[in-house]
């Protein structure tokens, strides 16, 4: 696991480099907007106070025109700033999303909940957008305008400018630092609580039927309500702290204006200009107070930014040799002393596993639940990377193949295959885009689903529902199997291909599946069911990640051990089942 970069902002800024001109432009426009606002207040004050003395109108003309020009330009500048800022940031975000997806796609299968991963992906990438648009651009504008305001005030009275500078420093540095310090801890507690609440919502809706069946709805609701209550209390506390800091900001702007007025009066500044300084100070402090908001945003964004930066830092290295290209057809696979451990300190799921799978060989892996069979399939398809040993395809390590290369050589039916909310045809074409009806029919026949497809009024266009919900478990399994057969990778991995089928159907489907696999293609079959394995070249019995027995069915069934015991049990059970079957 890569370490989290210590300054995620730097990673973001590095990515933003190609758009730097646009971002600087947006920053300048934002500063222009704020400056126009400040100048508008100051000019309007001068105009009002001067007009009170009834001077000749021509002395006021420039100021009148300036007020109009500033009022209009403020709106125009704000609009162009938003346009320029969003244009730059949305371009950057497109890059960031593409990189994040590429990294995730090249990564082993996620170990976290899919919903959580997805929502994080969306909100974390948005953190990059917010960092630029809500933190950096307004902060840069506030700093620039504060400097201009102090410079302007210094032209009138250096002493008043000093008082203004102090006020602006407190508003733009001390208050933001205070706001960050006060909210950091609560903010850190908030994120996991929000995550837990999202998970509760998913569990309570998706698991409603099971919760009701076990009479656990009340308990689950109570736990979720408690977490929601804790979140609400935390948010109330954060809001109260936020209001206190905001109130301090208002107080500060009054105090700064008072100090500026007193120093200006003491320095003998003309009354009208004192008024201009007072109103200008209120406007300038308000602009500097934007930094409090920026700091608050920044605190909230840091966790998401760190996660995105960690993902981006993980950008997959191009495989050595640039990927030699994978031809369809036979391939040789070799496992050498492969060890997989899902967690440090946990027992290994695979423990020094070795196997030769030359082209055309058909091997079954059997063993008790938790023995490591699915882990083996995941290692072979590249979704789990072993911590020890190596797995090679045609002599090259699996990790040396590009993400899109490996599936051309190794693939098949993995545990919990996903069926898309689409037609039977579309689900099948995923296995081999462009396959004709004959090919679809051959694969579907081997999986034992062709009769069902033919019986449907819509045939290949039958829509299977969300996650294949309009199919029976067995039909879903057969559809996924047909898709794997259509893909016809050189190394076909079949994780429980006949799960959910009755014994007679399971035998038939396994036989036709093996028959439909082209000569020279190897097969790694994972199965709980030991019947029907007579045709396989070798059967491995796996237990706690190690091979405990190996051989052909005829030999294993003669030797005392797990295989024989299990085979006898299953055979007796199925004989009973078949005797009862009509």
**Residue of 375, 427, 462, 477 interacting with ligand ATP (CB under 6 A):** 375
**Residue of 92, 149, 371, 419 interacting with ligand ATP (CB under 6 A):** 371
Residue 417 is inside which H or E element, if any? none
Q: Which stretch binds ligand ATP (CB under 6 A): 186-194, 223-231, 369-377, 433-441?
A: 369-377
349 lies in the binding site for ligand ATP (CB under 6 A): yes
Residue 418 Cβ vs ligand ATP, minimum distance, rounded to whole Å: 17
369 lies in the binding site for ligand ATP (CB under 6 A): yes
Count CB-CB contacts under 10 A for residue 320.
11
Q: Give the span between the Cα atoms of 579 and 582, in whole angstroms.
A: 8
Count CB-CB contacts under 10 A for residue 176.
26
Q: Which is nearer to ligand ATP, 214 or 342 (CB)?
A: 342
Closest CA to 226 of 196, 206, 202: 196
Q: Give the span between the Cα atoms of 31 and 163, in whole angstroms.
A: 22
Q: At what angle do helices 137-156 and 271-288 cross, to 10 degrees?
A: 160
Measured between its terminal Cα atoms, the distance across the chain in Å is 56
Q: Give the span between the Cα atoms of 176 and 289, in whole angstroms.
A: 8
Q: Give the span between the Cα atoms of 516 and 510, in whole angstroms.
A: 10
Q: Which is nearer to ligand ATP, 219 or 342 (CB)?
A: 342
CA angle 467, 468, 474 (to 5 degrees): 125
Q: Which is nearer to ligand ATP, 342 or 577 (CB)?
A: 342
Closest CA to 306 of 398, 191, 406: 191
Q: Which is nearer to ligand ATP, 99 or 476 (CB)?
A: 476
Q: Which is nearer to ligand ATP, 163 or 526 (CB)?
A: 526
Q: Give the span between the Cα atoms of 186 and 195, in whole angstroms.
A: 15
Q: Which is nearer to ligand ATP, 518 or 561 (CB)?
A: 561
Q: Which stretch binds ligand ATP (CB under 6 A): 174-182, 300-308, 373-381, 389-397?
A: 373-381
**Residue of 372, 412, 431, 474 interacting with ligand ATP (CB under 6 A):** 372
DSSP, collapsed to helix, strand or coil, labels residue 396 as strand
Q: How far is CA 184 from CA 180, 238, 534, 563, in A?
A: 6, 10, 64, 58
195 lies in the binding site for ligand ATP (CB under 6 A): no
Q: Which stretch binds ligand ATP (CB under 6 A): 312-320, 326-334, 371-379, 508-516?
A: 371-379
Four-residue CA torsion sign, 8, 11, 13, 19: negative
Closest CA to 172 of 141, 129, 133: 141
Q: Which is nearer to ligand ATP, 79 or 418 (CB)?
A: 418
342 lies in the binding site for ligand ATP (CB under 6 A): yes
Q: Give the span between the Cα atoms of 375 and 108, in whole angstroms.
A: 12
374 lies in the binding site for ligand ATP (CB under 6 A): yes
Q: Which is nearer to ligand ATP, 350 or 419 (CB)?
A: 350
Q: How far is CA 43 from CA 33, 71, 161, in A?
A: 15, 11, 18
Q: Are 545 and 350 in contact (CB under 8 A)?
A: yes
Residue 339 Cβ vs ligand ATP, minimum distance, rounded to whole Å: 12
Q: Which residues partner with 522 through β-bridges? A: 491
**Residue of 323, 370, 389, 407 interacting with ligand ATP (CB under 6 A):** 370
**Residue of 7, 17, 59, 111 interacting with ligand ATP (CB under 6 A):** 111
Residue 375 Cβ vs ligand ATP, minimum distance, rounded to whole Å: 3
Q: Which stretch binds ligand ATP (CB under 6 A): 23-31, 117-125, 180-188, 370-378?
A: 370-378
Q: Give the span between the Cα atoms of 386 and 415, in whole angstroms.
A: 19
Q: Which is nearer to ligand ATP, 373 or 478 (CB)?
A: 373
Residue 486 Cβ vs ligand ATP, minimum distance, rounded to whole Å: 25
Residue 428 token pair: 């099948």
Q: Which stretch binds ligand ATP (CB under 6 A): 10-18, 255-263, 328-336, 368-376?
A: 368-376
Residue 489 token pair: 């990778």
Q: Which is nearer to ligand ATP, 95 or 499 (CB)?
A: 499
Residue 199 Cβ vs ligand ATP, minimum distance, rounded to whole Å: 17
156 lies in the binding site for ligand ATP (CB under 6 A): no
Q: How many residues of this chain bind ligand ATP (CB under 6 A)?
A: 11
Q: Are 257 and 285 in contact (CB under 8 A)?
A: yes
Q: Which is nearer to ligand ATP, 167 or 348 (CB)?
A: 348
**Residue of 307, 373, 483, 529 interacting with ligand ATP (CB under 6 A):** 373
Binding residues for ligand ATP, rule: CB under 6 A, are 111, 342, 349, 367, 369-375
């Amino acid at each position: 696991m890569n370490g989290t970069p210590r300054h995620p902002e730097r990673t973001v800024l590095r990515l933003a480099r190609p758009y730097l001109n646009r971002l600087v432009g947006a920053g300048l426009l934002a500063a222009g907007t704020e400056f126009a606002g400040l100048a508008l207040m100051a000019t309007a004050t001068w105009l009002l106070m001067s007009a009170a003395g009834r001077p000749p109108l021509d002395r006021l003309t420039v100021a009148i025109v300036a007020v109009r020009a500033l009022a209009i330009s403020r709106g125009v500048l704000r609009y162009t700033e938003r346009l320029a800022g969003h244009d730059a940031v949305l371009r950057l975000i497109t890059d960031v999303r593409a990189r994040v997806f590429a990294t995730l796609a090249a990564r082993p299968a996620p170990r976290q909940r899919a919903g959580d991963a997805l929502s994080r992906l969306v909100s974390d990438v948005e953190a990059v957008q917010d960092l630029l648009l809500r933190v950096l651009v307004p902060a840069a504008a506030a700093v620039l305008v504060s400097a201009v305001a102090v410079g302007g005030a210094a032209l009138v009275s250096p002493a008043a400018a000093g008082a203004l500078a102090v006020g602006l420093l407190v508003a733009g540095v001390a208050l933001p630092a205070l706001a960050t310090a006060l909210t950091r801890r609560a903010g850190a507690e908030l994120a996991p609580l929000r995550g837990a609440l999202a998970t509760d919502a998913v569990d309570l809706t998706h698991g409603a039927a099971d919760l009701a069946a076990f009479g656990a709805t009340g308990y689950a609701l109570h736990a979720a309500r408690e977490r929601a209550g804790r979140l609400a209390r935390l948010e109330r506390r954060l809001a109260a702290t936020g209001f206190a800091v905001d109130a301090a900001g208002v107080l500060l702007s009054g105090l700064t204006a008072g100090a500026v007025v007193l120093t200006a009066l003491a320095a003998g500044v003309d009354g009208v200009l004192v008024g201009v300084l007072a109103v200008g100070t209120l406007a300038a402090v308000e602009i500097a107070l934007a930094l409090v908001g920026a700091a608050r945003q920044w605190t909230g964004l840091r966790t998401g930014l760190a996660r995105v930066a960690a993902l981006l830092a993980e950008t997959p290295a191009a495989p050595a040799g640039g990927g030699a290209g994978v031809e369809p057809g036979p391939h040789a696979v070799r496992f050498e002393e492969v060890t997989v451990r899902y967690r440090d300190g946990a027992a290994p799921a695979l423990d020094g596993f070795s196997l030769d799978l030359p082209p055309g060989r058909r091997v079954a892996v059997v063993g008790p639940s938790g023995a490591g069979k699915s882990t083996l399939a995941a290692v072979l398809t590249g979704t789990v990377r072993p911590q020890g040993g190596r797995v090679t395809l045609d002599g090259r390590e699996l990790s040396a193949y590009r993400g899109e290369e490996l599936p051309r050589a190794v693939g098949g039916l993995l545990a919990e295959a996903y069926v898309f909310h689409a037609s039977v045809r579309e689900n099948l074409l995923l296995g081999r885009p462009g396959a004709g009806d004959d090919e679809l029919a051959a694969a579907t026949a081997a999986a034992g689903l062709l009769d069902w497809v033919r019986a449907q009024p819509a045939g290949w266009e039958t829509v299977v529902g969300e996650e294949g919900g309009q199919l029976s478990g067995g039909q879903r399994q057969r559809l996924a199997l047909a898709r794997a057969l259509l893909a016809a990778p050189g190394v076909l991995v079949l994780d429980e291909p006949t799960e959910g089928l009755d014994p007679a159907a399971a035998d038939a489907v396994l036989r036709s599946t093996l028959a439909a696999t082209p000569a020279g293609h190897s097969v790694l079959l994972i199965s709980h069911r030991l019947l029907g394995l007579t045709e396989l070249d070798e059967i491995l019995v796996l237990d706690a990640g190690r091979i405990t027995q190996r051989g052909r069915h005829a030999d294993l069934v003669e030797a005392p051990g797990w295989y024989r015991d299990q085979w006898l049990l299953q055979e007796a059970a199925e004989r009973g089942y078949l005797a009862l079957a009509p």
